[in-house]
Amino acid sequence: MSQAEAIGQARQWLAAAQSIAVLTGAGVSAESGVPTFRDALTGHWANFRPEELASEAGFRAQPQRVWDWYASRRDELKAVQPNAGHHALAQFQQRHPGRLTLITQNVDGLHQKAGSPGVLALHGDIHATRWLDGFPGGCSRANQADEVCDVSAASPGRPPRCETCGNLLRPSVVWFGEMLPIAELEAAQQAADHCDVMLVVGTSGVVYPAAGLAHQAREAGARVLVLNPAASDLDEIAHLLLRATAATGLPALLDGL
Q: Which of 97-111, 135-149, 170-184 has the highest mean pLDDT?
A: 97-111
The pLDDT of residue 206 = 84
Cα(201)–Cα(125) distance, integer angstroms = 19
61 in a structural domain: no
CA distance 2 to 5: 5
Confidence of residue 247 (pLDDT cuts 50, 70, 90): very high
Among the ranges given (69-83, 98-112, 141-155, 182-196), the one the predictor scored with the smallest mean pLDDT: 141-155
Give pTM, 2 decimals.
Answer: 0.90
CATH number for position 8: 3.40.50.1220
Describe the crossing of helices 182-194 and 212-219 by its angle, rounded to 10 degrees. Answer: 30
In a domain, 229, yes or no: yes
DSSP annotation of 178: P
The question of whether 87 is a catalytic residue gets the answer: no
pLDDT at position 2 is: 87
Which one is catalytic: 96, 123, 127, 194? 123
Q: Which domain holds residue 199?
A: 3-33+81-127+171-254
Residue 114, CB half-sphere, CA atoms under 13 Å: how many?
27
pLDDT band at 44 (very low <50, low <70, confident <90, very high): low
pLDDT-derived band at 52, boundaries 50, 70, 90: confident
Residue 117 falls inside a structural domain: yes
- Residue 148, domain member (yes or no): no
**Is residue 147 over pLDDT 90?**
no
Q: What is the mean pLDDT of residues 247-255?
A: 97
- The pLDDT assigned to 204 comes to 86
**Structure confidence at residue 132 (pLDDT):** 84
In a domain, 228, yes or no: yes
In-domain check, residue 162: no
In a domain, 11, yes or no: yes
Number of domains in the chain: 1
pLDDT at 161: 83
Q: What integer pLDDT is reported at residue 142 of this predicted model?
A: 56
Distances (CA, A) of 84 to 94, 110, 172, 234: 15, 11, 27, 24
Helices (H), the chain: 3-16, 26-30, 50-53, 56-61, 63-77, 84-95, 110-114, 182-194, 212-219, 246-254
- What is the average pLDDT score of the chain? 88
Residue 40 lies in a domain: no
